[in-house]
Chains A and B, each alone.
Chain A
Amino acid sequence: MSQEESPITRRRMLRDATRYLALGGIGSLSAWLFYKRSSQAVAACPSSSSTCGECSQAAVCRLPQIWQLDPNRCIACGRCQTNCVLDLSAVKAVNCFALCGYCDNCTGYFPTKDYVLDTGAENQLCPTGAIARKYIDKQGGVPYFEYTIDESLCIACGKCVVGCRLMNGSLYLQVRHDRCLNCNECSIAVACPAEAFCRVPADSPRLLSRAAQAAEDALARKRSSHNKSSKGIEMRVEGTS
């Protein structure tokens, strides 16, 4: 045993040295990664393929990041339906109510060709009947309808989105994070021909089209001014009644 002592010690020394060298390497690697993370936590919304080119809405890239699709780039090709790892895609159509025209002859609800204004399933554009249509008002002899999407039925085929784009474009596709598994490499992003998928900060998981953003902003402004003057309106309502 004693004559073997010396090579074993030498080898052990070598091993120890390698181990602590490796440890140092791993340490400095993680230190650099964390440093990069903290130094780029602000204003890192660059135009790389893994992040959005147009994410100025979320100019602050806080972490962690989750997948979202940018409606400004989306062409509603239907690949979201087929490429998600989930059987029923995590992408759903969403209606931006502030942008919706509430039309009776909605091009997102009815096919544009030979359309019959009859809500029978055979007349609907949606293959799963996921769009609910509800009468809400009549103005100038024209009825207004509200369209709400039942996300449990929506399959993210994007047909309504394409149809709606002919008019106001209030329907858009979004990754819904109660369903999304947030895969490390999103398989829809790989298949997306428009490079619309990007990572967004987890605390602002929504990306709106520019028009939808403007409409939501306008509605928010109106609401805040409405709240301010709500007292006056109540009084006026009392006066009129």
Chain B
Amino acid sequence: MKRLMPLVLLLLVFAAVQTVCAADLFPTPEFSNHPIPQSQTPAPRPSWQEYLDLAFLTAALAAASFFAVKGRSRTGLFLLSIVSLAWLGFWRKGCICPIGAIQNVTQALFDKDYVAGGLVIAVFVLPLVFTLFFGRSFCASVCPLGAMQELVAVRPVQVPTWIDHALGLLAYIYLGAAVLFAATDSAWIICRYDPFVGLFRLTSSASMLALGAGFLGVGLFIGRPYCRWLCPYGAILALLSRVSWRHLRIPPTQCVQCRLCEDACPYGAILRPTVTPSPIEQRAARRRLIVVLCAAPLLIATGTLLGFGMRSSLARMHPTVQLAEQIRLEEAGWAKTRSDATEVFRGKGDSVESLYASADKVVENFAWGGALFGGWVGLVFAFKLVQLSIRRRRTDYEPDQGACVSCGRCLWYCPEEHTRQEFIQIQERAV
């Protein structure tokens, strides 16, 4: 910063000189005994609060990881999620969160003029790193959105596996769309359609509040619907969590295959032990894998083509394209009245052709972006199909590291855990 100081000063001086030169001069009002007041500008949030938030986030992540992996405490995770909900949700009003930070980071990568703030980068990166080491401890009890859904999941029912798997793909598609629209500087859809942020603020548009309430209502019976099927950040975390260094384990030592945990998990994140397939089944599985592998490039290619074909519809999320469309309608005489945006545009005196040209340029960007997005969707389908076709051998009940949010419900049901906690006496077992 020191190195930059002279430059900063120079710029400041330059800016000051420029304003004096360019602006209108103005006679100061004068009164006999009334000084001209200064209009006050309320100060924004002090920056130390940002560091406080960052410290809280780090501490909460560390605590959640401890409770999930080492402490094995559902109570600890539950209490921590209440604290997180209160701090990050209701006190900090849910902004900024890592889910939305995806867009800040994306735009910082694609837009050379946009710079993501330090807090934003940290908020985005920290949960990723923790997930790589300890699983989705962020989802467990740090994320206020997750905490809210965790708290309302009182009567969770098991969702059929196929619905769970199919809907789970939505999160990846949502992630792709969010990245596409942030990269093209069109819209930040994650923030725009965040169902819970309105509840944190207690004010929002009626439709968004209804959506949030709807998610919570569904969440009474279906555990964490947003986290499982929509959360784009959860989608990234699910990928990283699969290769995490440590992860919540259901039994502390050895699984006794009592199957109690299986019913306890509201998120369908517990994998059963596998049975050895017959040779015929094995052959069929192999054939299926080959078919799926062959279909994968086809899926991706189809997705790419579809995405490319949708470029102009996708581009309509961009404000410039919207403006150009509106102007086009007005020029053609189809619009009954002019909108404020087109009035402003005409007031600026830029030529309509240059607007069309820049809109075309946006559509051109969307040709690339749409194709990549479509390819991504195809890839997601292909990946899912391949994943389902590969059989892994398991002897114990294990959490599905991708889907498991480390809520720790299963710990309450595991008899081995009860033994460890000495709820069950060894002697009784011996008897």
Contact = CB atoms under 8 A, between A and B. Distances in A.
B115 A34 contact: no
B125 A30 contact: yes
A16 B117 CA distance: 31
B118 A185 contact: no
10 contacts: A19-B132, A26-B128, A37-B117, A58-B15, A59-B11, A64-B50, A85-B204, A86-B203, A87-B203, A202-B44
A214 interface: yes
Contact of A56 (B19, B34, B41): B19
Contacts, number: 211
Contact of A210 (B12, B23, B109): B23
Interface stretch (A89-97, A107-115, A159-167): A89-97
* Among B100, B128, B192, B344, residue most surrounded by chain A Cβ atoms (within 10 Å): B344
> Closest 6 interchain pairs by CB?
A193-B341, A177-B44, A46-B113, A178-B42, A193-B340, A214-B23
A205 B104 CA distance: 20
A190 interface: yes
Given A48-B113, A178-B43, 18 more contacts: A15-B242, A15-B243, A33-B105, A34-B121, A44-B113, A57-B15, A60-B12, A75-B343, A94-B39, A144-B31, A148-B37, A177-B45, A181-B95, A182-B44, A182-B95, A185-B187, A210-B23, A222-B28
B25 interface: yes
A18 B93 CA distance: 35
Contacts of B243: 15-16, 18-19, 22
A67 to B, nearest CB: 10
B111 A64 contact: no
Interface string A20-52: 001100100110111011001111101111110
A59 B93 contact: no
Given A37-B116, A98-B28, A23 B107 contact: no
Interface residues of A, number: 85
A69 interface: no
Given A136-B34, A210-B22, A85 B340 contact: no
Given A37-B116, A137-B32, A42 B105 contact: no
B44 A51 contact: no
B274 to A, nearest CB: 13
A213 B18 CA distance: 12
B96 interface: yes
Contacts of B25: 214, 218
A43 B9 CA distance: 11
A219 B185 contact: no
A150 interface: no
A129 interface: no
Nearest to A148: B37
A194 interface: yes
A56 to B, nearest CB: 5
Nearest to A134: B34
Interface in A154-205: 174, 176-185, 187, 190, 193-195, 202, 205
A44 B7 CA distance: 13
Given A33-B121, A50-B185, A59-B14, A213 B19 contact: yes
A211 B26 contact: yes
A42 B34 CA distance: 40
Interface in B1-59: 4, 7-8, 11-12, 14-15, 18-20, 22-29, 31-34, 36-39, 41-45, 47, 50
B118 A64 contact: yes
Given A48-B114, A48-B185, A193 B339 contact: yes
Q: Which of A56, A185, A190 has the most CB of B within 10 A?
A: A185
